[in-house]
Structure 1
Amino acid sequence: MSDTQNFQNHAKYYPLHHFVILPLTLLFVGWTIGRIDFGNSQSAAESMYFLLLGLIIFFISYLPRIYALKNQNRIIRLEMRQHYYHLTGTSFYEKERQLTSAQVIALRFAGDDEILALIDKTIKEKTAPKEIKKSIKNWKADRHRV
C-alpha cells in the first residue's frame, strides 16, 4: 500500500467481495437467465426457482456491504462535525444542511489547512464530490474505510 493516499489511489477493494463473491453471484444469475426454459411447467418452475435463488444470493452478498457503507457514512458525518467544531469552535450543523452527504464524505479527505475554505467553496459553487476530491491539495488519508 502506498504511503501517500490521494484521489487516484483512495478507492478500496475487498478481494473476496469484489473479485470472488460478487462475480460468481453475477455469473450464476447470468447463467440462470441464459438457461430459462418455459417449455413446460416443470422446466419453467425450475427456471424460476434458480432465478430466485440467484437473486437471493446476490442480495444476501450485497446487503451487508450496503449496511456497512451506510454506517460508515454516519460515522464520517459525526467525525466531520467534531472536526469542524475543533477547527472553528462552532457547530457544523448549519454548513452540513447546505451540503449533500456525498459532499461531506468527499470533504473529509481535506487537510486542516484547506477544509474550511473548501467547505465554503463547495456550498457556494455546489461542487460535485468527485471534483471536491480532485481539488484537495493536502490529502488526509483514511485507511479504515469499508
Structure 2
Amino acid sequence: MKPQNYQNHRKFYPLHHFVLLPILFFLEILGIYKVFKDSENELIWILFSVLIFLILFFSIMVRQHYALGLQNRIVRLEFKQRYFEIYGERSDETEGKLKFSQIAALRFAYDDEFKILLEKTLKENLSGDEIKKSIKNWRGDYHRI
C-alpha cells in the first residue's frame, strides 16, 4: 500500500462507485430517453425511471449515511483519546471550540505536529483543509470507510 498524503487520502469503493452507480445512471438515462421515444410504453418507462431513481438515491444515501455517521463518531473518539494521551486531561473544552472538519483534519498529523496544529487552529481558526495542507509528516488513515 502506498503512503497516504493530502493528494491521495480520499477513498473509493470500486464496486459501488465504478460499477453499480454508473450502471444505475445509465439505466436512468435510458429510462428517461425511452419515456420520450416509446410513446406506446410511456407509462412503463416512467415507472422504470422512477424505480431506478429510487434505487440510485437510496444506494447512495444509505451507504453514505451509516458509514459517515459511524466514522464521524470514531474520529471524535480518536481525538478525545489522543488529546488525553498527549495532554493528560479531558478534551471537552478544547473539542467544543473546534468544528468537526478541524478535528477530522488533525487525525492526519502525528503527535508532535498534532500539538502544534491544534494550538495554531485554536488561535487562528484554521479550516480543515488548511490543517491538512500544513501537515509535514502525513499520518495515513488506511481504515476509512
Where does residue 106 of structure 1 map in the other structure?
105
Where do residues 79-90 of structure 1 align in structure 2 (5 Å cutoff)?
A: 79-90=78-89
Where does residue 26 of structure 1 map in the other structure?
25
Q: Which moved more, 1:106-115 or 1:117-126?
A: 117-126
Q: Which moved more, 1:60-69 or 1:105-114?
A: 60-69
Kept in 2, the 8 Å contact 1:37–1:47? The answer is: no
Please state how far the C-alpha of 1:41 moved relative to its aligned partner.
9.6
Q: Which moved more, 1:133-142 or 1:31-40?
A: 31-40
SS at 2:35's partner residue? coil
C-alpha separation in 1, matches of 2:35 and 2:104: 42
- For normalisation by structure 1, the TM-score amounts to 0.87
- 1:41–1:103: structure 2 CA closer, same or farther, 3 Å change rule? farther
Where does residue 51 of structure 1 map in the other structure?
49
> Partner amino acid for 1:33?
I
Where do residues 1-12 of structure 1 align in structure 2 (5 Å cutoff)?
A: 1-2=1-2, 4-12=3-11
Please state how far the C-alpha of 1:90 moved relative to its aligned partner.
1.5
> Partner amino acid for 1:134?
K
What's the CA shift string for 1:92-114, capped at 9, x where partnerless? Answer: 12121111112111111111001
C-alpha separation in 1, matches of 2:16 and 2:38: 36
Please state how far the C-alpha of 1:123 moved relative to its aligned partner.
2.7
- For normalisation by structure 2, the TM-score amounts to 0.87
Give me the identity figure in percent. 44
RMSD: 2.1
Unpaired runs of 5+ residues, structure 1, are none
